[in-house]
Structure 1
């Protein structure tokens, strides 16, 4: 009697592997998309918490903390002699604010993509936002819908807290580079993966009206 091998042939095995690959690929793409969406949602919550902590700090002290540096161990970094910030564009002073979250080797607070969360404080009025906030002070930061700033979203911003998103500082997009150039103009717009116009930064800011209201409530301004 002739006996037939009932095992898979190489062709059949190849077909099975292709089918498995297609199925896995179909699962991986939605999962990665969901994971990225979850990170975007998480960073928005993180930035709001930082913003609230900054306003709370101002309400209790009458000033805002200086940005942290890579050498300040997560602490506000004012000049020891003048008490003026050593720099107004840096990182969230996570230790000064007493925030929870993952940090890197320099004690810089990390976003969901493990990039340091950045913080820009207005340097106007002689840097007084970090020493003694008073009525009538006008901040010098503005936020725009693009790097050309054709549409201004807010033209007197006290401070900006922002995440550079998944691509960190590795970008050629003009709008994202605007957020990294150290000046007082920042861009906030919708997410984009268009070549040359990528944008995945996340920003929140403190308006002077919000800050003044909270300082008056706390008895820091009369």
Structure 2
């Protein structure tokens, strides 16, 4: 009886010692997995952004979403068939990125013609000069308008403020959250990022979730790419 009791004590001591030894090891492994996840995400973000910027430099326009994962962009002439969908990996020739990515593009649909498809058109300045396009994209920030009703046609990029509920998917603006960029024209996010699913007009950056935050392109950056490409010197600009 005493022997069995002594053996139970030994087993208990072994279990305690293993917990003491393995606890920090498991914690370190979990931290390393999280670090690897964050690094893979950041690398994918950089590769995606570089491929999209290269696409703008080569074509003078933003890519359209795809209807299929890893597919080609879904277009009809100079217009996107959808404002939101899968990242067109085949069109961008971007492979081996971590996770599956979706994207949204500011087609300026609510701005109406002739600006409606200026950002995704192969000839963005055929009917609209750079000053006019800038005035449309840089319109005053109007957080209280529903999608399609306010003067700002670009995507709102917001930072999550803890303790506040997210606005409805169909509302423009950030609600009680912080505006990061009101002139975002293109954005890609992980397919598993539930906070940003199917928002089209407003997307959120969460400082506490570095491993799942979106990547984006602002109009200012796109305009710089256009200038670098020489698109602003195109001879077919029309003045009003």
The two structures have a TM-score, normalised by structure 2, of 0.68
Structure 2 portions without partners, runs of 5+: 109-114, 138-152, 161-165, 168-173, 234-240
**Shift in Å, 1:61:** 0.8
Alignment partners' CA distance in 2, 1:210 and 1:140 = 14
1:200 shift after superposition: 5.7
Q: Secondary structure at the match of 1:99?
A: coil
Does 1:75 find its partner at 2:72? yes
2:121 paired with 1:131: yes
Alignment equivalent of 2:49, drawn from 40, 46, 51: 51
Partner of 2:27: 29
| Partner of residue 206, structure 1 | 217
Determine which of 202, 224, 227 is the counterpart of 1:216: 227
| 1:127-184 per-position Cα deviation (integer Å, ceiling 9, x unaligned) | 33222333233251111123352421111111012236xxx25x5xxxx2xx213331
* Matches of 2:80 and 2:212, distance apart in 1: 25
SS in 2 for 1:127: coil
SS in 1 for 2:21: helix
Alignment size in residue pairs: 186
Which 5+ residue runs of structure 1 have no aligned equivalent?
A: 103-110, 193-198
Contact 1:59 1:220 in 2 (8 A): no
Cα deviation for residue 13 of structure 1 reads 3.1
- What's the Cα RMSD here? 2.5
Mapped partners of 2:70, 2:24: distance in 1 = 44
3-state SS, counterpart of residue 160 of structure 1: strand
2:9 aligned partner: 11
Aligned to 2:189: 162
Q: Deviations over 1:59-87 (max 9, x none)?
A: 111112111222x65211114xx452221
Q: 2 CA distance for matches of 1:100 and 1:27? A: 34
